[in-house]
Amino acid sequence: MENITFRIRRYDGTNTWVQEYRLPYEKGKTILWALTKIKDEIDPTLNFTSACRHAICGSCGVKVNGHAFLACKTSLDKLLETFDTSVLYFEPLGNYDVVRDLVVDWKPKMEKMKKIKPWLLPSREGSIEEGFRQSKQQFAKISSSTDCILCGICASECGQLAINDGGYLEPFIINKAYRFAVDSRDNAPEEHIRPVLENELWKCIHCMQCVSKCPKEIPLTDEIAYLRKETMKMGEVHNQGARHAYAFYHDVKKWGRLNEMTLPIKTDGMVTTLRKRIPFAYRMIVKGKINPLRLPKAVKGIKGVRKIYQQVEEESKS
Amino acid sequence: MRYAFFPGCTLESAAAELMISTKKVASALGIELIELEGWTCCGATHLQDVDEQLALAINARNIALAEQLNAPLLTVCNTCTLMLRTAKKTLDENLQLKEITNQRLSSANVEYQGTSEVTHLLWALIQDYGLENLRAKVKRPLKGLKVANFYGCHIIRPQEVLGFENHMNPRSMEMVVEALGAESVEFSQRLACCGFHAVFPAEKEVMRLTALNCLSPKKAGAHCIVTPCPLCQMQLDMYQPDAQKGCRDNITMPVLHLPQLIGLALGFEPEELAINRHIVDAIPVLRQHIGVI
């Protein structure tokens, strides 16, 4: 390959267009190298953001061929191999307002972040003199989540944000809530968790984009599961998400399998199910996809399954 | 080839046609599927919201049942694949947790050892069966059928758990579909989520997504969608009439399970593969483009 073609989506505040640039191929270069070279040597009007060049500041997130990357950390060779092409299409991060070219507006996201109180609400155990000490085990709980560099890649790729009207929180905000909720020095985890619940926590669609694309490999989906569990411990069990999760929990315990017939009733309640789902149920019955008369049978070995349940439950109580 | 078969809950009810077509196809290809006796629901990414240790233990039990058969565990559901492989990865990489989990499993008289791989039919066809062998079995090449391959999330993401191919540009579906003689169509939502797991708490958003997921392949010229996941199939097919209500464009798209498409190429008729069970009728499209009865 002699050249790489860069097709970059441009935006001047009013108009959008695609501009093409070409650079001679050089082995071992990064996305950021290409953007910098284009700006320095071909077109000084191209706008993008970057700062540290060491995957620490998080300012150079950009989309290439439909996927978000940290520009300073991602090698062009990897992209050319992944997409088996010499043409790369650059866009600003998704799910952000665009300011210019590849520059996005962070202000609305930071305003949203305030909802979850992204700061320590300290316990009384520490003091100015002694500080707020943590054991290694306590630090381990926040170690991964504090790696977040606010690059916005998780938000760019989030499947729920792409279809949401603005109520859902960006995964990096959820991560921040988790980070303070589990911090041993914080005295008010509920104050971080409750805003996440109230901002559509259960609407995560499990697309796994955030956890797959995070350049710091933060286990964001595990954090979402943890926060959900904590909301249920707080007594927030009368919502669709919690009831849906418990339907699985109880069905597996009782029969070993999910009962699809009763799942809508367990999730939405009888009244809502009857009100909302009759046309749906009708077309399912007509096609033989559900059988209201089918009764579930417990799987072979169900007693063993229940014993596993019992043991895990006892352990979590102790 | 012999596998411990993990059907997953939907194959017993709303996606029974996938059970029918999987068994037909496996038999025609000479693949032996032994259904695991006593398998339980994988938790479908919901159980861990209540208790992640429980989700780990019940999937360790499922894999342990496959180990008793001395066979790899095969699924035809993306989410089952994700849950089972997550459990396997967690236990194989954390010996202390493996020991704790085995203490829990001992009350059910099973032990997780880590000897059975967890795979999906799509991967097994490529990795174990071989595309050339599959191509040799084709009796009715699907020439003229334009197919939109809808991967579904849990067969590609997260890469560290699934890992069969690059999650940003997978090609396995295209490879199989082309071996069957059909044409793969590129479309913008190819790697999108179907939204199935949030259809209750995020109904409005998921219907929006369903409309987009049907419209994108339609605009790209596809005759049908094909997916390796029953949950994606159910979301895109069963809820299509609901998604249509909020959309001005006609989004109508038939949605097939991967084994149904393979079965058509092997010479089975749509009814034998229970294609007539779908909400959106796929048979007119198949009649028009590949001449099924």
Mean of all residue pLDDT scores within chain A = 95
Q: What is residue B3's predicted lDDT score, i.e. its pLDDT?
A: 98
Please compute the mean of the pLDDT values over residues B115-136 and round it to a whole number.
98
Residues of A within 8 A of B277 (CB-CB) are 287-289
Q: What is residue A297's predicted lDDT score, i.e. its pLDDT?
A: 92
Rounded to a whole number, what is the distance in Å from the CA of B8 to chain A's nearest CA? 8
Please compute the mean of the pLDDT values over residues A56-60 and round it to a whole number.
98
- In angstroms, the CA A83 to CA B290 distance is 31
Q: Is the CB of B192 inside 8 Å of chain A's CB atoms?
A: yes
Is A283–B168 a contact, with Cβ atoms under 8 angstroms apart?
A: no
Is A245–B47 a contact, with Cβ atoms under 8 angstroms apart?
A: yes
Q: What is residue A316's predicted lDDT score, i.e. its pLDDT?
A: 86
Q: What is residue A130's predicted lDDT score, i.e. its pLDDT?
A: 78
Is A299–B40 a contact, with Cβ atoms under 8 angstroms apart?
A: yes
Q: How confident is the model at residue A126 (pLDDT cuts 50, 70, 90)?
A: confident
Please compute the mean of the pLDDT values over residues B270-289 and round it to a whole number.
97
Residue B119 phi, psi dihedral angles, 5° rounding: -135, 170
Is A251–B41 a contact, with Cβ atoms under 8 angstroms apart?
A: yes
Is A212–B192 a contact, with Cβ atoms under 8 angstroms apart?
A: no
Percent of chain A exceeding pLDDT 90 equals: 88
> ipTM of this model?
0.95
Rounded to a whole number, what is the distance in Å from the CA of B200 to chain A's nearest CA? 7
Q: How confident is the model at residue A132 (pLDDT cuts 50, 70, 90)?
A: confident
Is B202–A209 a contact, with Cβ atoms under 8 angstroms apart?
A: no
Q: What is residue A296's predicted lDDT score, i.e. its pLDDT?
A: 83
**pLDDT for residue A125 is more than 90:** no
Residues of B within 8 A of A84 (CB-CB) are 169
Pairs of CB atoms within 8 A across A/B: 197
pTM of the prediction?
Answer: 0.96
pLDDT tens by residue, A184-236? 999 999 999 999 999 999 999 999 999 999 999 999 999 999 999 999 999 99
pLDDT tens by residue, A85-123? 999 999 999 999 999 999 999 999 999 999 999 999 987
**pLDDT for residue A127 is more than 90:** no
Q: Is the CB of B186 inside 8 Å of chain A's CB atoms?
A: no
CA torsion sign for B118, B123, B127, B129 is positive
